[in-house]
Amino acid sequence: MMLHVILTVIVPLFAGFAVRYYFRQSVEKVLAVFPAISVTFIIFICSLVIALNRERLAQVTVPILITVVILNIYGMLAGYEVGAIFRMDIPKRRTLAIEIGMQNAGLGTILALKHFNERTAIPAAIFVFICIITASIMAEVWQKKEMAPAG
């Protein structure tokens, strides 16, 4: 599993650093589309897990749902607080909150599929959707807070 993580996370990460370093001007032109591509692929992977487990989804218990929500909220709060401890500005704290709140849920889904089976990937896939929902809610709340008149 460690080798799989290295090959799917570490090697592409350093390859991306190299591409961005050596082809900076070309990369800058298309950089904005990559977050949308990433989210799209994570949603496809998790949708596959949901489809493979459609008969088992009724067995997902309330404690599993509560656990993934608590894990996500705790991660977001911890990310925001770590940013505050290191005196990051508000936008960086918010970014850190969302990133830590997501905790590589897509990677967890892929690892569960590859090294175990589709059934073990259910909590991770649900976690991805919870992360997307809570991150969207927080982004909306923060955006409205920014737009609210000072008073």
- 43-65 pLDDT, tens digit per residue, is 787 788 778 878 877 778 888 88
Does 131 have pLDDT greater than 90? no
Q: Taking phi first (over 0 means left), then psi (-120 to 50 degrees means alpha), and beta for anything else, what does residue 88 get? A: beta
CATH 3.40.1400.10 fits 32-147, yes or no: no
- In percent, how much of the chain has pLDDT > 70? 97
Does 42 have pLDDT greater than 80? no
Sign, CA dihedral 95-97-98-100, equals positive
**Residues near 10 by Cβ (< 8 Å), separated by ≥ 6?**
none
Alpha carbon of 141 to those of 16, 34, 92, 146, 147: distances in Å?
A: 32, 24, 16, 9, 10
Higher pLDDT, 99 or 103: 99
Q: Which of 8-22, 83-97, 123-137 has the highest mean pLDDT?
A: 83-97
- 63-102 pLDDT, tens digit per residue, is 888 988 898 899 899 999 999 999 999 999 998 898 887 7
**In which band, very low, low, confident or very high, does the pLDDT at 151 lie, cut at 50, 70 and 90?**
low
Confidence at residue 132, expressed as pLDDT on a 0 to 100 scale? 81
- CA–centroid distance for 71 within its chain: 13
CB 98 within 8 A of CB 135: yes
Confidence at residue 38, expressed as pLDDT on a 0 to 100 scale? 76
Alpha helix ranges (H) inside the chain = 2-5, 11-22, 24-30, 34-52, 62-85, 90-102, 105-115, 122-147
**In which band, very low, low, confident or very high, does the pLDDT at 103 lie, cut at 50, 70 and 90?**
low
End-to-end CA distance of the chain, in Å? 53
Confidence at residue 44, expressed as pLDDT on a 0 to 100 scale? 82
Q: Which of 42-46, 102-106, 117-121 has the highest mean pLDDT?
A: 117-121
Q: What's the chain's average pLDDT?
A: 84
